[in-house]
Amino acid sequence: MHFWLLKDFYRREGDKLKIQVLGAAREVGGSCIAVSTDRGKVALDYGIKLEGPTDEYPKNFDAIIVSHAHLDHSGSLLRLSQSKNKQILIGSKITRDVSVDLLKDMIKVNEFNGTPIGFDSQTADQLKSSWVSSESMDVLDMNIKLYSAGHVAGATMTSLHSGGKSLLYTGDFCFHDTEILKGCNPDLLPKEPDVLISESTYGGTVRPPRDELIDQLLNEIKGTLKHRGNVLIPTFAFHRSQEMAKRLDIAIENGTLPNRNVYMISKLARKITTVFNSYKDLFKQETPPSAKPFEYRHVKEVERITDIDEPAIVVCTPGFGHAGASLNLLNKWAEIEENTIIITSGYLPPDSPLKLAKDKRYVKIDGERYPVQAKIVQIELSGHADQKQLVELVQRLKPKRTILVHGDLNQAEALSKQIEELTDVCIPEKNETMNL
Ligand SMILES: [Zn+2]
């Protein structure tokens, strides 16, 4: 299975493509893959780990291709300001704008927590000056093309051609449409690449159909409102909160949900919603199309939890419930039986308040534990491909070789078993190098 791996690589005449997985090997977080040709070197993503310190990646790249704005794909970009080498950054325009907003937020949060990371928001803004957004471009001897990946606004897959060899990197992707975004269309992707580098986050998971999950979500909300309970939906500021607000807005508009107090509380989400409104062509259009697709009809955007009239449905950040409105409302509402807390993320960090509330049934306020009486449900509305879609990608593209990244080893191995008849599969270790 690993016959084409060459560890301890040294460059030889005739080598066309060298691939080194610098991050997100056998785990999720810290995505970074170096691709070198005879003349140049690019990085596919430049992220940070979700927990714990991230390795310093090399900075000697000609270009860095940022698949999307999530920090596990873009969070190390600030470190490039320390480099003498001037790389260009490649990615969609909305990825550029949202990445800068998320990096600024990361700087702020770290300062607030007393662990400053040594960069200011000006450094984040400066990234824009080296950003190139084009669907097709040449970098030295490499031709690079970007394809829509679904997942979140602006997410792209990258195809790279050099010296007769071809590579496709998925970044994070999904085929399914959501209320606001079209999924990746596999018909548009280049077929039979020499190597496919695919995410494998849910390589071992087959999810129920999305319509069923949405029905479950709306039924939980309706059931709670019937008992005059509150619904808390902690979510992520980028894309997921806009998607959830739009979902509720549509459900109220078409009568599926009763018209009650629905709020969104998140300064960061509001900032990103402004960016979304300036790229309205990226999103699914309503008929008739509205000037600002993310101006909600029924969801009120408020600043503080004191602005809420109960009972209410509240979409708020952060998604893991460890700070801000999510934490305050969790602490306030978890003790009341009539309330429901809906978790839409598949992953929760261990010891995060939402994880403790769900699994250990308590919340911690000023060091004291209080039992959770509210109903807590997890309805995974993911922007990632599940195993079915990941296998479909391989069936459609017919890559000679497939490298699985961005997935825990058990997920990647489960996927590997499903596709090993179709393609040579490799689940590389960190820093492992492969030659084409
Ligand atoms: Zn992502």
58 and 431 in contact (C-beta within 8 Å)? Answer: no
Strands 424-426 and 231-234: unpaired
The CA dihedral of 357, 360, 365, 368, to the nearest 10 degrees, is 170
Element holding 246 (H helix, E strand): helix 240-253
CA of 407 from ligand 1 middle (Å) equals: 12
Q: Give 251 Cα–ligand 1 centroid separation in angstroms.
A: 26
Å from CA of 170 to ligand 1 middle: 11
Q: Any idea what the Cα angle at residue 71 is, between residues 333 and 397, rounded to 5°?
A: 110
Q: What is the pLDDT of residues 269-288, one digit of tens each?
A: 999 999 999 999 999 887 77
Distance 260 CA to ligand 1 centre (A): 32
Q: How many CB atoms lie within 10 A of CB 83?
A: 12
DSSP 180: S
CA distance 144 to 252: 43
Q: Judge contact between 12 and 433, C-beta under 8 A.
A: no
Neighbours of 2 (CB within 10 A): 13
Distance 70 CA to ligand 1 centre (A): 5
Report how far residue 35's alpha carbon sits from residue 237's, in angstroms, rounded to the nearest whole number: 31
Ligand 1 centroid–CA 376 distance in Å is 25
- Report DSSP letters for 60-101, one per residue: --SEEE---SSHHHHTTGGGGGG-SS--EEES-HHHHHHHHH
Token readout for 29 is: 């977080």
Residue 151 CA, ligand 1 centroid: distance in Å: 7
Q: What is the distance in A from the centroid of ligand 1 to the CA of 222?
A: 30
Ligand 1 geometric centre to CA of 29 (Å)? 9
Dist. CA 172 → ligand 1 center (Å): 5
Per DSSP (E only), the strands in 229-327 are 231-234, 261-265, 299-301, 312-316
pTM: 0.93
Taking the centre of ligand 1 as the mean of its atom positions, its distance from the CA of residue 68, in whole angstroms, is 7
Could you read off the pLDDT tens digit of each residue along the chain, which spans 436 residues?
443 444 434 344 445 799 999 999 999 999 999 999 999 999 999 999 988 888 899 999 999 999 999 999 999 999 999 888 889 999 999 999 999 999 999 999 999 989 999 999 999 999 999 999 999 999 999 999 999 999 999 999 999 999 999 999 999 999 999 999 999 999 999 999 999 999 999 999 999 999 999 999 999 999 999 999 999 999 999 999 999 999 999 999 999 999 999 999 999 999 999 999 999 999 988 777 788 889 999 999 999 999 999 999 999 999 989 899 999 999 999 999 999 999 998 888 888 899 999 999 999 999 999 999 999 999 999 999 999 999 999 999 999 999 999 999 999 999 999 999 999 999 999 999 999 8
- What is the 39 CA–ligand 1 centroid distance (Å)? 30
CA 28–ligand 1 middle distance (angstroms):
10
**67 CA from centroid of ligand 1 (Å):** 9
